[in-house]
């Protein structure tokens, strides 16, 4: 089936960040093709509940309703934060484009302009991700890491004038919302390695919608797609979801024989007491292989046991 409507219907969550991300893709579609795009707000299970992501079932709680609307023909295109997608493909759908991503690192928003190292022992730091909880605890700074939920504004309000000393958020979301002025430190991946596909968007459509597939292909960025493929393959091979304390980060750099992909990954105990890290380098065309090999190396060094403890 191909899209026959003159206006593309783009499904999105109604949060300010999701709306901003979706509008940027809609504008890019119109700029590249002249086709108008209408945003359609869809409520997801993750939006309706205040429970922790792990309690809701982890991966997929923000995307299932949007994917149903796409499969049912209610919308023609969906825009997701790529890190929210399950690693298994959805039958009948395809990722038609991965636009250039924002800076994937994590960012600290702290009181009084403090950096992570300047926060006193016992300072309360809020985050919703087990990955961040584990890595922050592993730094051994004596911080009290507090699990929190809510949108970007809600989380930041917990700092000023709220009850926390700091929160850790994805820098990409703050950039898209024009809130980088609140960042007191962008965290070095040597300290806190980002989540797989953090900062990237996935633009999805029906696999048999040839017209929309061709249209969206104009937005695809090969470098970002290769990096995200390596990161998410690491996650998939570990058989972990977005609620697991797993990190992966790929970068492209110019090597002696052309572009090289540098992939890093880690699995950390939730209490920060133990962890494994690894890295691999290879050509971007080998992104899938690199992700699998890195995951195998992490598993050989005890990653499965660390994830099992986290699940319990």
- 192 lies in a domain? no
- 285 lies in a domain? yes
- The structural domain count of the chain equals 3
Q: Are residues 204 and 176 in the same domain?
A: no
- 1 lies in a domain? no
Q: Are residues 153 and 301 in the same domain?
A: no
Q: Are residues 60 and 113 in the same domain?
A: no
Q: pTM of the entire structure?
A: 0.91
- 3 lies in a domain? no
Q: Are residues 70 and 212 in the same domain?
A: yes
Q: So what's the pLDDT on residue 257? A: 85
- Assess contact for 15 and 44: CB atoms under 8 A: no
Q: Are residues 79 and 209 in the same domain?
A: yes
**Strand-pair partners of 124:** 144
Q: pLDDT digit string (tens) for 154-207?
A: 999 999 888 999 999 999 999 999 999 999 999 999 999 999 999 999 999 999
Q: Are residues 237 and 209 in the same domain?
A: no
Q: Are strands 124-127 and 144-147 parallel, antiparallel or unpaired?
A: parallel
Distances (CA, A) of 61 to 2, 193, 197, 311: 28, 23, 17, 17
Q: Are residues 142 and 270 in the same domain?
A: no
Q: Are residues 95 and 207 in the same domain?
A: yes
Q: Which residue has the tokens 């890019």?
A: 28
CATH number of the domain within which 113 lies? 3.40.190.10
**Strand-pair partners of 202:** 80
- 260 lies in a domain? yes
Q: Residue 265 is inside which H or E element, if any? A: strand 258-268
- 214 lies in a domain? yes
- 193 lies in a domain? no
Q: Which residue has the tokens 């949060």?
A: 15
Q: Are residues 37 and 115 in the same domain?
A: no
Q: Are residues 173 and 285 in the same domain?
A: no
- 261 lies in a domain? yes
- Assess contact for 147 and 127: CB atoms under 8 A: yes
Q: Are residues 12 and 95 in the same domain?
A: yes
Q: pLDDT digit string (tens) for 102-160?
A: 999 999 999 999 999 999 999 999 998 999 999 999 999 999 999 998 899 999 999 98
- Whole-angstrom Cα distance, residue 143 to residue 120? 8
Q: pLDDT digit string (tens) for 22-75?
A: 999 999 999 999 999 999 999 866 554 444 444 444 446 679 999 999 999 999
Q: Would you please indicate which residues are annotated as catalytic (active-site) residues? A: 84
CATH number of the domain within which 234 lies? 3.30.160.40
Q: pLDDT digit string (tens) for 82-98?
A: 999 999 999 999 999 99
Choosing from 129, 163, 186, the residue where a domain stops is 186
What range does the domain containing 239 cover?
228-311
Cβ contacts of 297 within 8 Å, gap of 6 or more: 278, 280
Q: Are residues 174 and 208 in the same domain?
A: no
């Amino acid at each position: 089936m191909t899209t026959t409507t003159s206006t593309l219907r783009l499904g999105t969550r109604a949060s300010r960040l999701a709306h901003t991300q979706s509008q940027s893709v809609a504008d890019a579609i119109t700029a590249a093709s002249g086709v108008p795009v209408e945003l359609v707000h869809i409520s997801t299970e993750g939006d309706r509940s205040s429970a922790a992501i792990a309690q809701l079932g982890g991966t997929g709680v923000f995307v299932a309703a949007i994917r149903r609307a796409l499969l049912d023909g209610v919308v023609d295109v969906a825009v997701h934060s790529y890190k929210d997608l399950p690693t298994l493909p959805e039958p009948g759908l395809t990722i038609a484009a991965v636009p250039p991503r924002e800076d994937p690192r994590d960012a600290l928003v702290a009181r009084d302009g403090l950096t992570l190292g300047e926060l006193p022992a016992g300072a309360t730091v809020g985050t919703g991700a087990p990955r961040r909880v584990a890595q922050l605890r592993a730094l051994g700074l004596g911080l009290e890491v507090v699990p929190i939920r809510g949108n970007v504004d809600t989380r930041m309000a917990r700092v000023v004038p709220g009850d926390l000393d700091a929160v850790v958020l994805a820098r990409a979301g703050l950039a898209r919302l024009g809130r980088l002025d609140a960042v007191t430190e962008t965290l070095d991946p040597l300290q806190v390695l980002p989540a797989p596909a953090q900062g990237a968007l996935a633009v999805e459509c029906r696999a048999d919608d040839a017209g929309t597939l061709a249209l969206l292909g104009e937005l695809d960025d090969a470098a970002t797609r290769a990096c995200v493929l390596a990161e998410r393959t690491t996650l998939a091979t570990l058989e972990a979801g977005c609620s697991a304390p797993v990190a992966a980060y790929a970068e492209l750099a110019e090597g002696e024989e052309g572009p090289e992909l540098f992939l890093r990954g880690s699995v950390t105990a939730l209490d920060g007491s133990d962890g494994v890290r690894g890295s691999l380098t290879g050509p971007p065309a080998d992104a899938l292989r690199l992700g699998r090999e890195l995951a195998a190396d992490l598993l050989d060094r005890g990653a499965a046991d660390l994830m099992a403890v986290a699940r319990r």
